[in-house]
Amino acid sequence: MDTPSPPPPSPSVGAGRYAPSPSGDLHLGNLRTAILAWALARRTGRTFHLRIEDLDRVREGSEERQQADLAALGLDWDGEVVRQSDRGAAHDAAIERLVGRGLVFECYCTRREIQEAPSAPHAPPGAYPGTCRDLTSSQRAAGRARMRELQREPALRLRADVSEWAVEDLWAGTVTGAVDDLVLRRGDGVVAYNLAVVVDDAAAGVDQVTRADDLLSSAPRQAHLAHLLGLPEPGYAHVPLAVNTAGARLAKRDGAVTLRDRLERGEPVAAVVARIGDSLGLPGCRTAADVLERWEPSTLSPQAWVVQPWIVQPSG
């Protein structure tokens, strides 16, 4: 008689997610992050959701190809795929709640003006200098007139009431980062990423945000925004980026770095998963399920994954 498998962990309150932008095919770093997000959610009994962040750059056919690639690796998700562009009413309602509390102001600055303005001491380069935060009524009227001339709307910014906020990350521990008067809605009318991601994660019950560590600095401001909206602040799990041999973020210019690139060159899906498994110290993985079964999060290296130029590894 076969030995029965151990029962799965008791479901926790919450979920994990993966949320790509449909701006092109997912490269190997994206796929590695997706596998880790899925594995972390599944091993803790969480549900796992797929959200398409299509508020900005959208390339025709990308969403369908991305979903097909994730499924080919062995990933699955719970419920329907959510598209951020369908969530406008929820985004608007969140902004209105902040407006009602006096936590929103109009900003009439151009991007160039913000970049060239003197910043507060110790502020990161390009940080918003607070130019429009406390304008008089006549100054606001002049700003609106200028926006009409430019044929755009004022951006809406959060009137932040703190300068920093702390979050908990599975690998980085307690991270305290800067909070600024972040944009809630851009001058072109599109809701900003920081607002949308907070509202959409909360609506899906996401309490475990797994993503690449280039977004770690955004976590404190997003968690603080969740706090202001009365939403639960999630825990974070930022994983190292994939980079090329020069140390730059992996990109299409680095050659055959997407799953479809590899398939076109005769490399099977299992071999691609094996490369991702090797980067985690798990030789011999062929599907995402192998990673789920064998991977221990405590063993994840904090170093970026340096993706070497590849030759085809045929099946056999």
Which residues contribute to the annotated binding site?
17-21, 53, 107, 109, 128, 132, 193, 211, 252
Say if CB 142 and CB 131 are below 8 A apart.
no
Distances (CA, A) of 158 to 7, 92, 166, 195: 46, 14, 18, 10
Among 205, 183, 214, smallest CA distance to 196 is for 183
37: CB partners within 8 A, 6+ apart: 16, 17, 18, 48, 210, 211, 237
For residue 303, give the DSSP letter: S
Q: Which of 161, 252, 264, 312 is catalytic?
A: 252
Q: Which of 255, 235, 237, 236 is nearest to 245 (CA)?
A: 255
Distance CA 14, CA 36 (A): 17
User: Exposed, middle or buried by CB within 10 Å (0-12, 13-18, 19+), for 8?
Assistant: exposed
Among this protein's residues, is 266 annotated catalytic? no
Q: Other C-beta atoms within 10 Å of 162: how many?
A: 12
Beta bridge partners of 177: 165
**What dihedral angle (degrees, nearest 10) is formed by the CA atoms of 76, 81, 82, 84?**
90
CA distance 286 to 73: 9
Active site residues: 252
